[in-house]
Chain A
Amino acid sequence: MEKKSSFNVVKFMSDNAIILLVLLLALFTGLTSKNFFTTRNFSNLVINMSPRFIIACGVSGCLITKGTDLSAGRQVGLAACLSAMLLQSVDYSARMLPWLPDVPVWAALIAVVVVMGIIGAINGCVIAFLKVPPFIATLGMQTIVYGACQIITNNQPMGGFKSSYSNVALGSFMKIPYLAFFAVAVGAYFLFLYNKTRHGKYMYAIGGNESAAQVAGVNVVATLIRIYLLAGMMYGLAGFLVGAKAGGASTATGFGYELEAIAACTIGGVSANGGVGRVSGILVGVLVFEALKICLQFLGVDPAYTFIAQGLVIIVAVALDLRKYLAKK
């Protein structure tokens, strides 16, 4: 850090370049389009943000311990497909599992979260016990999960959900979408976990200096497994919500979600430097991404341009993180 005392404008702008840009974009959109600054639109934003936020929270633990989870997207996809298979309407003609009785929504949710948690735990074991670098371990898991999803769904896209499932995404309580409640619950949980529990402290310790953490008696293996297990559970929940929101699920669901989640975390202050990262930052990062998307959509921009813009945001986020890392050492 060069200048310590006074507020360095240039530094502030470069640290938060993307956030400022998107802020400007939002202002521009609001001024040039009708219906942008409305509760309805804000509601849409919240609905879009919620599952993404949950996924980002899951990945954040991996990033804070200097790891990564490239299997996030495909896990979300698998979770969405599993939810879909369990929660299609009984009288839907193209039901995937016609023999299945009517499954309560909450039961499906629990089942999916448990299954994805197991997958996450496997990731954790491979990384912590077998000492496989997280990049490679989760990359492998990514393809395995994708393959499993194809087999289970027979590559058939699914729809025709029972209304109580769709309602999870469409419904609201006192004008607040149900999805928001899920996101808030997850956010609160992670806030508690990261700041007020031993697990959280151990996580930051491992990210800050794994060798020192080990000397201090931290059970690195157990903590890492818990982190990836929890991440898996979050992907399960998110996948369940994504399915409800989209009204359908296929093997393509969730593709590439991990890139956005990791970039969102990076924008929000979680980085390869390890040991740092706050829930508030994750929220900001996810907000930036979704705001970008929703602004461009409102402005009628061709989705292709949005894709490119998102890609550029990801590159800038990583480059800024790289810069911080090099400047520090």
Chain B
Amino acid sequence: MSEYRLEMREVVKTFPGVKALNHAQLKLRPGTVHALMGENGAGKSTLMKCMFGIYHMDEGEVIYEGEKVSINGPLDALNRGIAMVHQELQPIPERSIGENIYVGRYPVKRFGPITVIDHDKMYEDAARVLKEVHLNYDPRAKLGTLSVSQMQLVEIAKAVSADCKVLILDEPTSSLTAAEVEALFTIVNELREKGVSIVYISHKMDEILRITDEVTIMRDGQYVGTWNAKELTTDFIITKMVGRELTDLYPKRENVPGEAVFQVEDFTSINPKSFRHATFSVRKGEILGVAGLVGAQRTELMEGLFGLRCHTAGRIVYKGKELNINQPKDAIDNGIALLTEDRRATGILGVLSIADNVSIASLNQYLIGGIMLDDGKIEKLVQDNVAKLSIKTPSSKTQIQSLSGGNQQKVLISRWLANDPDVFIMDEPTRGIDVGAKYEIYCIIAELAKQGKSIIMISSEMSELIGMADRIMVMCDGRVTGFIDGKDANQENIMALATQFE
């Protein structure tokens, strides 16, 4: 029949306000290791979730072994021979390794009407499977006794044990040591010999070039192309992943950075796996971009500076004065603002009005007699911001959750501006926002910088960083790996610093 074991064709998936997949496709041959690459948000995980039936596709089809299929969920996929090892583990540490491997599909014995789990068979099968992947763990031992990387190997064993025909590995080496990575590659090679189709999702260029046969690249939910791995170079891949025309997507910036006002020294999280020894400074009127892959701990670092996370070491010096920040209020009182990454979770007060959302962080400014809130003053504040930032809303009493993403973000920016902060940290300020609104927000950021405010902007969009930042700080795996001057920045050198794992 077809040379392909699995095909995904013309997949379209839309979430409110965002087209996550736009006629994406994927074609897997048997006995091949096929890499799936793309920036954060390119749609790789979404595509896999569509394959598995975790998401329902708006358009498109999945053809498996020559037939059009509709997969209802991970268990259905597993029964058909499609297995996935997730990036985020979902282990059950209290139960044994064997039980974890066979969770949801325990082998059973029947005694007339009674069905019991056949533990002996389960452990026998588990031992066999573990041996197949060269792991010497005792299947009866509790999963919790293993290290995180070992648990990840068990996850892989679990997928392999299903005797699958298609195996998807999502960032499989993220927690593995070098030796374990080699073990993984051995397994992958063996599976390839057996004829399994393997999808390998990863950011690690060297691994991709070493172990994979074909590479499919996605960008903005769209299919860019598929190439033979042997013909590829790192530069080519990055260009294809990121390659965007830098047209007039970004406003002309007129800010002139002055002297450094905000300095962070050796800032280290209380969690050893999170940010550590972060040192950087921001100047007055400067836009400092912060680049890095998912997991680089950029958000965590900023949350730490804002008082939402605990730190064990480090200092923050602002305008020469050392700051002691243990909770958001401390940061706010010192003129720092934080626009969070996930506005739905930690930004907007959904059921409350726009007026309430704008004023909530600055209520002390609108008091009559020290107790009563001056609704008139608040209303004026709202109207001023609606005009200044072009917020589209029927009235100030409208619930904020009925606004579009872009307008919600503008309301949140207004909230912070009401306190006239000097340092404004913005975490993915244009995520989930349409192109038109993005431009408006860029203009706002440029204007704020021109006024002398210091902006720290975390972004996962290369072109955004290159287009807007005066300087870019790059983080990798919790460490600050380097700084790039705005005019020298390009996709390659940012990516190089972002993938500088130890």
Closest partner residue, chain B, to A204 (CB atom): B352
In the bound complex, do residue A217 and residue B364 qualify as a contact, i.e. CB atoms below 8 Å apart?
A: no
Chain B residues touching A, majority SS: mixed
Interface centre among B345, B347, B351 (most CB of A within 10 A): B351
In-complex Cβ contact of A215 among B340, B363, B373 (8 A): B340
In-complex Cβ contact of B360 among A196, A197, A201 (8 A): A201
CB distance from A207 to the nearest CB of B (A): 8
- In the bound complex, CA of A162 to CA of B356 (Å): 49
Interface residue A155 (Cβ < 8 Å from any Cβ of B): no
Chain A residues touching B, majority SS: helix
CB distance from B105 to the nearest CB of A (A): 30
Interface residue B167 (Cβ < 8 Å from any Cβ of A): no
Cβ contacts B348-375/A at 8 Å (1 or 0 each):
1111100010011101100100011101
Interface residue A30 (Cβ < 8 Å from any Cβ of B): no
CB distance from A1 to the nearest CB of B (A): 10
Do A275 and B351 contact each other (CB < 8 Å), given the known contacts A198-B373, A216-B415, A218-B360? Answer: yes
Count, chain B residues at interface, CB 8 A: 27
Interface residue B115 (Cβ < 8 Å from any Cβ of A): no
CB distance from A200 to the nearest CB of B (A): 8
CB distance from A197 to the nearest CB of B (A): 6
Do A201 and B359 contact each other (CB < 8 Å), given the known contacts A211-B346, A273-B351? Answer: yes
In the bound complex, do residue B349 and residue A208 qualify as a contact, i.e. CB atoms below 8 Å apart?
A: yes
In the bound complex, do residue A217 and residue B348 qualify as a contact, i.e. CB atoms below 8 Å apart?
A: no
Closest partner residue, chain A, to B367 (CB atom): A198
Do A215 and B356 contact each other (CB < 8 Å), given the known contacts A196-B372, A201-B373, A209-B349? Answer: no
CB distance from B365 to the nearest CB of A (A): 11
Closest partner residue, chain B, to A274 (CB atom): B351
A275: chain B residues within 8 A (beta carbon)? 349-352
In the bound complex, do residue A216 and residue B356 qualify as a contact, i.e. CB atoms below 8 Å apart?
A: no
Closest partner residue, chain A, to B308 (CB atom): A215
Interface residue B277 (Cβ < 8 Å from any Cβ of A): no
Closest partner residue, chain B, to A208 (CB atom): B349
Interface residue B332 (Cβ < 8 Å from any Cβ of A): yes
Cβ contacts A169-207/B at 8 Å (1 or 0 each):
000000000000000000000001000111001101100
CB distance from B416 to the nearest CB of A (A): 9
Interface residue B60 (Cβ < 8 Å from any Cβ of A): no
- In the bound complex, CA of A61 to CA of B328 (Å): 24
Interface residue B329 (Cβ < 8 Å from any Cβ of A): yes
Interface centre among A192, A208, A274 (most CB of B within 10 A): A208
- In the bound complex, CA of A197 to CA of B367 (Å): 9
CB distance from B382 to the nearest CB of A (A): 14
Closest partner residue, chain B, to A219 (CB atom): B329
CB distance from B394 to the nearest CB of A (A): 13
In the bound complex, do residue A205 and residue B371 qualify as a contact, i.e. CB atoms below 8 Å apart?
A: no
In the bound complex, do residue B332 and residue A217 qualify as a contact, i.e. CB atoms below 8 Å apart?
A: yes
Cβ contacts B81-122/A at 8 Å (1 or 0 each):
000000000000000000000000000000000000000000
Cβ contacts A201-237/B at 8 Å (1 or 0 each):
1101100110111111111000000000000000000
Interface residue A276 (Cβ < 8 Å from any Cβ of B): yes
Residues of B whose CB lies within 8 Å of any CB of A are: 306, 308, 328-329, 332, 338, 340, 345-352, 356, 359-361, 363-364, 367, 371-373, 375, 415
Residues of A whose CB lies within 8 Å of any CB of B are: 192, 196-198, 201-202, 204-205, 208-209, 211-219, 273-276
12 pairs, A vs B, C-beta closer than 8 Å: A192-B372, A201-B373, A204-B352, A208-B352, A209-B348, A212-B346, A213-B349, A215-B338, A215-B346, A215-B347, A217-B329, A275-B349
Q: Which 8 residue pairs spanning A and B have beta carbons closest together? A: A208-B349, A216-B361, A217-B332, A275-B351, A217-B329, A198-B363, A211-B346, A208-B351
Known: A209-B349, A214-B308, A217-B332. 5 other contacts (CB 8 A): A197-B372, A198-B363, A201-B359, A208-B349, A209-B350
